[in-house]
Structure 1
Amino acid sequence: MTKWFTCAGVLLALLLVSACHRGLDPVAFHSDGRPPRLSDWHVVEVRDGKLVLNEGVVPYDLNTPLFTDYAHKLRTIWMPKGVSAKYDPTDTFDFPVGTIISKTFYYPRAADGKFTDVARTYDSSRDFAGEGLDLSRVHLIETRILVRRESGWAAMPYVWKDDQSDAFLARTGAVIPLTLVADSDAREDFNYVVPDESQCASCHAQDWVTRKIHPIGPKARHLNRDYHYAAGDENELAHLMKVGYLTGAPAPAEAPRNANWMDEHASLDARARAYLDINCGHCHNPKGAANTTALTLDVSAPEDRHLGICKPPVAAGRGTGDHLFDVVPGSPDESILPYRMDSAEPGVMMPELGRSTVHREGVALIKAWIAAQSGGCVAIH
């Protein structure tokens, strides 16, 4: 819904943005090397109890985000002046050299105030301060940097200090013990795993032959949505065009758009396909890391064996749960896909990286999607 602001409201928004930029050095593009501190990039920094965005740093979100142990995420894009990304209707946009994409993983603080207790909630309404984060309400975990250099994209994970003042490079990753606290006060201990640099590459390599990494989220179908910027709501594709960070994009109504997996006004099929696309499709596609499985889970897959319907697994073992097919229409409990999603056990769980907990709501969505399918599978002995 479009929101109209009074002149005073617009002025306040502008003052908030200018306050965020005050005292920050310009964003620094490092053409090589691995800066030891996140603040060396000057993309997002802590000022006066807030994580603020520097000038020219544009936040964005996805219609359906990748699940990471119920973490919330602040995503940003920055580009040098005078360059733009080129629109693509299907693949990741063609970003110019100098682009810096950041993704900060954080949790709302649990009500008990204990530092390692974090809230398991989808509500982010209390997290934000302008376009940054209010550190009195959130616990910063890590920030990942993707930078486009002459040689290609480079990925660097930074882990936040306990005092939340800065984050430091963690090339070998990290393990952070946390406890998820639900609204019902139910508690779940888990180890949040920050991936090492090689693990970053295993997910971000769109072509498993070249192994070159690329961003996953900045595609038209994921960004075709509204964002609540400091100056008001606007479609992300339109906003990126307006600020000069994108060229060649059509009007939002003419661009592809994935469903929000939580939007019950959208069809069950659209929600499930969007969920599989962002969580599984970057590996399960004809060129991805899981291309040998013959299971395609991005939006390009037709609704047949490519999507797992009545498709036997390529390899037997614990990962099948003794089930015979990836997806059995009408029978989620006989299907391998939700079985693997519903596990946090190495060797069984899917995705293999990026989570230590089970996404209960995601599993429920995929089970409902399979249950709604008609037909069945015939085993050939």
Structure 2
Amino acid sequence: MIQKLRNLIGLAIVSALLASCGGSADQSPVFHSETNPELLSEWHMLSVKDKTLQLGERVTPYDLNTPLFSDYAHKLRTIWMPEGKAANYDANDAFDFPVGTVITKTFYYQVPVGSSAKDGSVLRNADNTSQLLNAGFELPSVRLVETRILVNRATGWVALPYVWNEEQTDAVLKRTGDIKNLKLVDEKNQKKLFSYVVPNTNQCAGCHATNSVTRKIQPIGLKARHLNKIYTYKDRAENQLVRWQASGFLHGVPESSRVPRNALWNDTNVALDQRARSYLDINCSHCHNRNGAASTSGLLLELDSPNGLSLGVCKLPIAAGTGTGDRKFGIVPGKPDESIFTYRIASTNPEEMMPELGRSVSHDEGVALIRQWIAEMRGACP
């Protein structure tokens, strides 16, 4: 009897520890080393229980300083590694993650009061994922659209898109992608119809294969400069990289002063140039980098790319076609209305817009940021 009581007390302690981390004792994540489950729930990274979205054991949420724009969708990002495994820190590139790592990114919207997920109306409001998660992530208040999984197997990274069902109980693997017709509701209650596009597996590779030579898929946002920020966890607010190292998820993090950090694109307390460069870095540099698919264009948009021609200033386009909008240079200092940059990031024409994938509507605030950045540049083109 005494031993039985001790066992019960032990189980209670384990359950309490798991609860404090946001995990559930009956949801141990599963690394599928070869097979691709038809249902998202088979990974046990996320689950729906009592109409709330819950994370599995040791599944850790994270965020980026400046995120990629995706039709105003909010994003719940998580990472999980097998017990005893850890990633290795890198100052510039994506961290070196061990085989067995599973990354998820769930795209969702909050819905207007009185609406349901089936209504199709979704709010164009600020992303407050950490607050929703810490409050229980109640599904009646949100519409889950898709969850993308990146899993690191012995053969390399694999991208898998899962689309949430109308009942909001699970997501189904959709290799060919999907389209959801939604109504974006702004702060004035004005509605705009748009088609949210879930990428197919080949399109996932179009962005995540950041090196045009190797064509290997890898994470985009999991770099020091994107992750170096405070995140509000259930127990406390803490720098993500400090948290990861303390939990055994990451090795080799240097002193904080030596860790790069991207600016928040909408933080007006930060210099305009830093915000604009951070915005271009996360939205464009997966192709526009020294080894990327768009490297032949000569346009390099990583954070450390030098100012001048390679940044697009007074640069003639290469094979842009109608994407120029009859404008001569990528950036004309002081003249956003004469710059190709502002034309392409504002366009929703699939043959002209940049980025080429990942959005169906224009990011009005992002366009305004780049317009202001160009407007305040000094100089002139020949």
TM category (shorter chain) comes to over 0.9
**1:235 to partner: Cα distance:** 0.1
Q: Are the structure 2 counterparts of residues 168 and 349 from structure 1 closer, same or farther at C-alpha, using a change threshold of 3 Å?
A: same
Report the more deviating stretch, 171-180 or 293-302: 293-302
**1:206 to partner: Cα distance:** 1.6
Superposed CA RMSD in Å reads 1.8
User: Within 1, Cα distance between the matches of 2:113 and 2:364?
Assistant: 22
Find the counterpart in structure 2 of residue 153 from structure 1. 157
Contact kept in structure 1, 2:18 and 2:57, CA below 8 Å: no
Contact kept in structure 2, 1:344 and 1:357, CA below 8 Å: yes
**1:20 to partner: Cα distance:** 5.2
**1:18 to partner: Cα distance:** 5.2
The residue correspondences of 1:1-381 to structure 2 (distance < 5 A) are 17=19, 21-22=23-24, 24-114=26-116, 115-124=119-128, 128-130=132-134, 133-378=137-382
**1:16 to partner: Cα distance:** 8.7
User: Within 1, Cα distance between the matches of 2:29 and 2:308?
Assistant: 47
* Structure 2 residue matching 1:227: 3-state secondary structure: strand
User: Within 2, Cα distance between the matches of 1:242 and 1:19?
Assistant: 14
Contact kept in structure 1, 2:346 and 2:362, CA below 8 Å: yes
User: Within 1, Cα distance between the matches of 2:60 and 2:319?
Assistant: 44
Sequence identity of aligned pairs in percent? 53
Report the more deviating stretch, 83-92 or 18-27: 18-27
User: Within 2, Cα distance between the matches of 1:26 and 1:164?
Assistant: 21
Contact kept in structure 2, 1:53 and 1:132, CA below 8 Å: no
User: Within 1, Cα distance between the matches of 2:317 and 2:324?
Assistant: 7
**1:83 to partner: Cα distance:** 1.1
**1:252 to partner: Cα distance:** 2.6
Contact kept in structure 2, 1:86 and 1:247, CA below 8 Å: yes
**1:132 to partner: Cα distance:** 5.5
Contact kept in structure 2, 1:154 and 1:213, CA below 8 Å: yes
**1:130 to partner: Cα distance:** 2.1
Aligned residues between the structures: 367
Find the counterpart in structure 1 of residue 3 from structure 2. none
Contact kept in structure 2, 1:175 and 1:193, CA below 8 Å: yes
Contact kept in structure 2, 1:50 and 1:129, CA below 8 Å: no
Which residue identity is paired with 2:153? R
**1:251 to partner: Cα distance:** 2.7
**1:26 to partner: Cα distance:** 1.2
Contact kept in structure 2, 1:85 and 1:95, CA below 8 Å: yes
Contact kept in structure 2, 1:235 and 1:252, CA below 8 Å: no
Q: TM-score, normalised on structure 2?
A: 0.93
**1:183 to partner: Cα distance:** 1.2
* Structure 2 residue matching 1:128: 3-state secondary structure: helix
Which residue identity is paired with 2:342? P
**1:317 to partner: Cα distance:** 2.1
**1:150 to partner: Cα distance:** 0.4
User: Within 1, Cα distance between the matches of 2:163 and 2:271?
Assistant: 38
Q: Are the structure 2 counterparts of residues 241 and 127 from structure 1 closer, same or farther at C-alpha, using a change threshold of 3 Å?
A: closer
User: Within 1, Cα distance between the matches of 2:136 and 2:311?
Assistant: 39
* Structure 2 residue matching 1:91: 3-state secondary structure: coil
Contact kept in structure 2, 1:62 and 1:225, CA below 8 Å: yes
User: Within 2, Cα distance between the matches of 1:353 and 1:106?
Assistant: 18
Q: TM-score, normalised on structure 1?
A: 0.93
**1:300 to partner: Cα distance:** 2.1
- For each residue in 1:200-243, what CA deviation from the matched residue of structure 2 results, as whole angstroms up to 9, or x when unmatched? 00100021111100000110000000000011100000000010
User: Within 2, Cα distance between the matches of 1:377 and 1:112?
Assistant: 53
Find the counterpart in structure 1 of residue 10 from structure 2. none
User: Within 2, Cα distance between the matches of 1:22 and 1:247?
Assistant: 26
User: Within 2, Cα distance between the matches of 1:188 and 1:17?
Assistant: 40
Which residue identity is paired with 2:72? Y
Q: Which 4+ stretches in 1 moved above 4 angstroms? A: none
**1:47 to partner: Cα distance:** 1.0
Which residue identity is paired with 1:238? V
* Structure 2 residue matching 1:118: 3-state secondary structure: strand
- For each residue in 1:7-27, what CA deviation from the matched residue of structure 2 results, as whole angstroms up to 9, or x when unmatched? xxxx9xx68935953463310
Contact kept in structure 2, 1:45 and 1:53, CA below 8 Å: yes
